[in-house]
Structure 1
Amino acid sequence: MKRHISKLIAAHWLFGILCVALAGCSTADNEMAAGNLTSVNHVDGTAINWLSVNGYRTAGGGGRACCIVMPVKWRPGLIANIEWEVDPDPYAYSKWPPLGTDGYRAAQVKHKANYQHYKTTVEIPEYQEKVCGLTVHFLTCQQVKVTTSCWMGNAPEYPIKDSRHMKEPAVCTK
């Protein structure tokens, strides 16, 4: 019985070493790096409450948050599955009853019922040098653009040139 158990332990140990060795070989071309997940809302009068990219979730509204993990080396077929929540009237609270009251809580519940949820999938554009994170740009009519650019948004080299202050049209056409 002891001999059987020791052989079983040895087999598990060898299997573990084999798995580690194979994992090392298979990830050599799939090295990953973490970067900031950033959002830019281009639509005036709205707020992005939160966004999620490939399961990495952050608060929206602009600014940077840690983190998203992406391949160090770009490859064809990289996609971003994006989900987000929009508050179509982010300044409504200024007209609500005082904070902490039943009236405030009722207004908040009614307001949250107007939040809009969206999903889309976009290709991640090719990057050459390094991963600087992922910036998600929210445009009118639920359009989304992404970039991995290391340039600041106001730099001439920054790839997304859309206006930062857009009005949502009455009717969106696809």
Structure 2
Amino acid sequence: MVAITFLLGGLLLSACAAEQPKRLGAPIEGYNHTSAAINHFSVNGSGGPNISPYSGGGKQNCCVSLPVQWHPGLTVVIEWEKDPNVGASKYWTDPMFSDAWRKRMANHKAGYTRHRAVVEVAPYERLGTVDVHFLPCNQVKVAAVNAVPGMAGYPYNYPLRMEEPSRC
């Protein structure tokens, strides 16, 4: 009876110690296909760079942990803040950082919008940079392939300048 107890205990412990899928830290970069500024964003809580309207790539932040091998159902959580009225402050006549300017800035920041989406990661054979594409209507696509937009095998080749439809 004691031997059976030890055998069952050993089996339970080995099941708990089953090998976890291998993961690596991958750099994060973003592509903004909209007229709004992406003030900041994160992938599973790891921060990405800010992105001006209709731009992206070239600026990377470190890192988000992803499995070395892609698997169906692989998702990440993307959170971001948008400034829909980019460049408004350049028309303000108040001296920068004056009380009046700070009040305007507080009102401007009240117009920022915050978003969160659970996004499927496009299939990859070899883990690369995690590219987050911000699309019109607060849609997001994520690729983690070992390629850049425009290369063969890259899953999302959207134009940088995409117009926001009147209704989403």
Q: TM-score interval w.r.t. the shorter chain? A: 0.7 to 0.9
Moved more, 148-157 or 158-167: 148-157
Give the number of equivalent residue pairs: 150
Structure 1: give runs of 5+ residues left out of the alignment: 1-17
1:99 equivalent in alignment to 2:90: no
> What does 1:62-141 correspond to in 2, within 5 Å?
62=56, 63-96=59-92, 97-128=94-125, 130-141=126-137
1:53 equivalent in alignment to 2:23: no
Asked if 2 retains the 8 angstrom alpha-carbon contact of 1:34 and 1:133, the reply is no
How far apart, CA to CA, are the structure 1 residues paired with 2:88 and 2:100? 14
Structure 1 residues 118 and 75: CA distance shift in structure 2, 3 A: same
The one-letter code of the counterpart of 2:164 is: E
Structure 1 residues 85 and 100: CA distance shift in structure 2, 3 A: same
The one-letter code of the counterpart of 1:50 is: H
Q: Deviations over 1:102-123 (max 9, x none)?
A: 1111111010000011111111
Asked if 1 retains the 8 angstrom alpha-carbon contact of 2:49 and 2:60, the reply is no
Asked if 2 retains the 8 angstrom alpha-carbon contact of 1:68 and 1:133, the reply is no
The one-letter code of the counterpart of 1:48 is: I
The structure 2 residue matched to 1:144, chosen from 140, 143, 156, is: 140
TM-score with structure 2 length normalisation?
A: 0.80
The structure 1 residue matched to 2:31, chosen from 10, 29, 40, is: 40
Structure 2: give runs of 5+ residues left out of the alignment: 1-9
Asked if 1 retains the 8 angstrom alpha-carbon contact of 2:47 and 2:61, the reply is no
The one-letter code of the counterpart of 1:147 is: A
Instruction: Give, in angstroms, the shift of residue 59 of structure 1.
Output: 3.1
How far apart, CA to CA, are the structure 2 residues paired with 1:87 and 1:142? 12
Structure 1 residues 24 and 89: CA distance shift in structure 2, 3 A: same
TM-score with structure 1 length normalisation?
A: 0.77
How far apart, CA to CA, are the structure 2 residues paired with 1:160 and 1:136? 10
Identity %: 35
Structure 1 residues 166 and 144: CA distance shift in structure 2, 3 A: same
Q: Deviations over 1:86-140 (max 9, x none)?
A: 1001211101222221111111101000001111111112211x21131110010
Q: Would you tell me which structure has more helix in proportion to its own residues?
A: 1
The one-letter code of the counterpart of 2:66 is: M
How far apart, CA to CA, are the structure 2 residues paired with 1:23 and 1:101? 63
Greater radius of gyration (CA): 1
Instruction: Give, in angstroms, the shift of residue 22 of structure 1.
Output: 6.2
Instruction: Give, in angstroms, the shift of residue 157 of structure 1.
Output: 3.5
Structure 1 residues 22 and 87: CA distance shift in structure 2, 3 A: farther
How far apart, CA to CA, are the structure 1 residues paired with 2:72 and 2:45? 20
CA RMSD after TM alignment = 2.2
* Corresponding residue number in structure 2 for 1:5: none
Structure 1 residues 101 and 159: CA distance shift in structure 2, 3 A: same
